[in-house]
Amino acid sequence: MKLKDIGEFGFIGRISRDIRPGSGVVAGIGDDAAVLASDKKGFYSLFTCDMYVEKVHFTKKDVTPYQLGWKAMAGNISDIAAMGGLPRHAVVSIGLTGDEDVRYCDEIYRGMRAAAKPFKVDIVGGDTVTSPEGIVISVAMTGVVEEKMCVYRSGARQGEAVLVTGSLGGSLLKKHCVFAPRVREARFIAGTGRVSAMMDVTDGLVADLEKICAASGVGAMLFEELIPVSPDARRMKGEKTPLESALSDGEDFELLCVVPREAVAGLLKAFNKKFSVPLTLIGGTTDAKGIRVYRTDGTVDEPRYKGYDHFKSGR
Amino acid sequence: MKLKDIGEFGFIGRISRDIRPGSGVVAGIGDDAAVLASDKKGFYSLFTCDMYVEKVHFTKKDVTPYQLGWKAMAGNISDIAAMGGLPRHAVVSIGLTGDEDVRYCDEIYRGMRAAAKPFKVDIVGGDTVTSPEGIVISVAMTGVVEEKMCVYRSGARQGEAVLVTGSLGGSLLKKHCVFAPRVREARFIAGTGRVSAMMDVTDGLVADLEKICAASGVGAMLFEELIPVSPDARRMKGEKTPLESALSDGEDFELLCVVPREAVAGLLKAFNKKFSVPLTLIGGTTDAKGIRVYRTDGTVDEPRYKGYDHFKSGR
């Protein structure tokens, strides 16, 4: 049996089953970041990593080295934010062919530092190696979160509200390489103490909401007229409709969260007063399985956007 | 100017200059691991990462997947040990082609877990992506060290003794994929409070001793008759003499340390009583620049083994 037969998530399930977290591990594989006991009373430590491979995640034509560095760093910051935490330190493993211009490599690091600086993330070390077939970057990041503010994917209950920050779809590379990780927004949401589940949208709204649903044992419904479709998604001329883009495009790096219904009005009011990026109610959790999309024409879809599965298929 | 013109160490110098550690960073880029302020009084946190690329660090022919996983994990444990610390948690970014057999991938993780287990390292998360051109593994690891036991590359003074654990050279892949990281040995050495500088030998004895010398502003002399040449190095039939192998082969993962002369006798006695792996005096630090090797025939070499420079040249 080949890896591509079981797919990325089949393989992750396999290694998650096998690796038994030891003492001090509050939550291991399966969330945006691992949650670990901390020596600081009332706090957890967070630990995450992401890998970006040339010709899989990016091409040199479509992305500047600055954007590449930004994205590699900001993607990890977004993972820490999605737990309700603050990012702390990063180490960077980078594989380069050696044929790159030195200025190209400098630009990668300039992008990483620019993404890190607003959140006071220090790049404290790394490993620099040859990768003859193309650039590979892996950023690992630690973070910290108050125990009371740590939000998992698994806490959603049925009958709660589903909300998302910003707008979705049309993840043009240029936009998404210099996206702003929603750290302050996530801290605000987590700080209310009224959020049941949260993650960042990296594989697409439906695919990521399915992860929250699977971890929490609930289903969800989304309402077409509520979904904040991005201007980019409306502008794009491709096979997908703007709604399909908003439901299925990856790398939005917006926050997707589930909140008890009675907390929604207060949260929306407080959030939208404080931030320029909107927080929008888009649906709710149910006791059914899977995700249903209620269209404005009265029909109901059960979209099959499974997100990007490395090894298996496209979206 | 291309990256290969300035080489790995030129590039690392460039990014180290640029990245200014913030508050809480005791020592950043340039040692075996970054040293960070900890919330536990009297302790530091450690943070490191290493990347392994197929066809650069290994080939599928020469190494089993178990050995590959072992090496990726044990290499990081060795980095934490070289600071005098204890490893804690690991995250694993892995790029796979998708054509691998699932059992092959399982074996990589079995090797990682086997290397991690004796040191109570928990693998708490990771990222699994496609890498069409070959396997890439990046392991990032945190650790902890008592402030008093933390040992840097930069603490050596002239007139001190140079010691190494185990024997050197002939780093056959099979041996070096299941090497035992010297955690207990390093903790013992650091725990004496009498070690000025330490690192693990990954690029070769001379190349790595040069790093200690450069960081500390000293030179060093080595004595041929004192150097513990490994049986493998003696057995190998290649271009190198056994001594040259011991001086220049990388991936020994032994500990190289510098100790005040008055502490040597006591340390050697106590260490060699406690451990089966030997600790050997091999030379001393000087006020001259560079490394001199005093040969048994009375001649003096200034070997130019610069270690493996990714992007530039071979050893």
Coil, strand or helix at B292? strand
Is residue B32 pLDDT above 60, yes or no?
yes
Question: Pairing relation of β-strands B43-53 and B136-146?
Answer: antiparallel
If pLDDT is split at 50, 70 and 90, which confidence band does B207 have? very high
Record: contact B91-A48, CB cut-off 8 A: yes
Could you give the maximum distance between any two Cα atoms of chain A, in Å?
A: 58
Position B22 scores a pLDDT of 62
If pLDDT is split at 50, 70 and 90, which confidence band does A250 have? confident
- DSSP track, A18-59: H----TTEEE-BTBSSEEEE-SSTTEEEEEEEEEEEBTTTB-
Residue of higher predicted confidence among A209 and A170 = A209
Distance CA A11, CA A5 (A): 10
Distance CA B12, CA B14 (A): 5
**B5: how many CB neighbours lie within 10 A of its CB?**
12
| pTM of the predicted protein model | 0.93
Closest by CA to B130, choosing from B96, B101, B94, B102, is B96
Share of chain A above pLDDT 90, in %: 74
User: Which of B5, B93, B113, B146 should one mutate to test binding to chain A, selecting the residue with the greatest count of A CBs within 10 A?
Assistant: B93
Right CATH for B152-301 from 2.130.10.10, 3.90.650.10, 3.40.190.10, 3.40.630.30: 3.90.650.10
A128-150 pLDDT per residue, tens: 999 999 999 999 999 999 999 99
**C-alpha torsion angle, residues A209, A210, A213, A217 (rounded to 10):** 180
Q: What is the mean pLDDT of chain A?
A: 91
The CA-atom distances, in angstroms, between A201 and each of A249, B204, B312 are: 9, 45, 40
If pLDDT is split at 50, 70 and 90, which confidence band does A310 have? confident
Position A172 scores a pLDDT of 65
Chain A residue at shortest CA distance from B10: A102
Record: contact A98-B4, CB cut-off 8 A: yes
| Cβ(B76)–Cβ(B85) below 8 Å | no
- Distance between A92 CA and the closest CA of chain B, angstroms: 7
Q: What is the mean pLDDT of chain B?
A: 91
The partner residue sitting opposite B140, judged by closest CB among A2, A15, A91, is A91
**Residue A313: what are its φ and ψ, rounded to 5°?**
-140, 180
Distance CA B187, CA B175 (A): 23
Distance CA B169, CA B247 (A): 7
Name A217's Cβ contacts closer than 8 Å, sequence gap at least 6: none
The kind and range of the H/E element at B243 are helix B242-248
Distance CA A70, CA A115 (A): 5
Record: contact B95-A12, CB cut-off 8 A: no
Residue with token string 């009011």: A269
Cα Rg of chain A (Å, integer):
19
Could you give the maximum distance between any two Cα atoms of chain B, in Å?
A: 58
If pLDDT is split at 50, 70 and 90, which confidence band does A314 have? very low
If pLDDT is split at 50, 70 and 90, which confidence band does A19 have? low
Record: contact A1-B101, CB cut-off 8 A: yes
Please list every residue in chain A whose beta carbon sits closer than 8 Å to the beta carbon of residue B50.
93, 127
If pLDDT is split at 50, 70 and 90, which confidence band does B278 have? very high
Is residue A230 pLDDT above 80, yes or no?
yes
The answer to whether A11 faces chain B, any CB pair under 8 Å, is yes
Right CATH for A31-149 from 2.60.120.430, 3.30.1330.10, 3.40.50.2300, 3.30.2010.10: 3.30.1330.10
A22-51 pLDDT per residue, tens: 668 888 788 899 999 998 999 999 999 999
User: Which of A44, A60, A129, A145 should one mutate to test binding to chain B, selecting the residue with the greatest count of B CBs within 10 A?
Assistant: A129
**Cα angle at A265 between A260 and A271, to 5 degrees?**
100
Please identify among residues 211-250 of chain A the ones whose CB lies closer than 8 Å to any CB of chain B: none
User: Which of A57, A91, A121 should one mutate to test binding to chain B, selecting the residue with the greatest count of B CBs within 10 A?
Assistant: A91
| Cβ(A65)–Cβ(A105) below 8 Å | yes
Average pLDDT for B17-44: 83
The CA-atom distances, in angstroms, between B9 and each of A281, B193, B235 are: 51, 31, 32
The partner residue sitting opposite B2, judged by closest CB among A33, A101, A142, is A101
Average pLDDT for A225-247: 89
| Domain boundaries defined on chain B | 31-148, 152-301
Please state the separation of Cα A309 from the chain's center in Å.
15
The answer to whether A18 faces chain B, any CB pair under 8 Å, is yes
Please state the separation of Cα B147 from the chain's center in Å.
21
Name B276's Cβ contacts closer than 8 Å, sequence gap at least 6: none
Establish, for the pair of chains A and B, how many residue pairs have beta carbons separated by less than 8 Å. 249
A106-118 pLDDT per residue, tens: 999 999 999 999 9
Q: Which two tokens stand for residue A281?
A: 């109610």
Average pLDDT for B125-139: 94
Determine whether domain A161-301 maps to CATH 3.40.50.360: no
Distance CA B43, CA B97 (A): 41
The answer to whether A89 faces chain B, any CB pair under 8 Å, is yes
The answer to whether B26 faces chain A, any CB pair under 8 Å, is no
Q: Which two tokens stand for residue A230?
A: 């991005």
Interface confidence, given as ipTM, is 0.90
Task: Please identify, in words, the CATH class of the domain defined by B31-148.
Answer: alpha beta
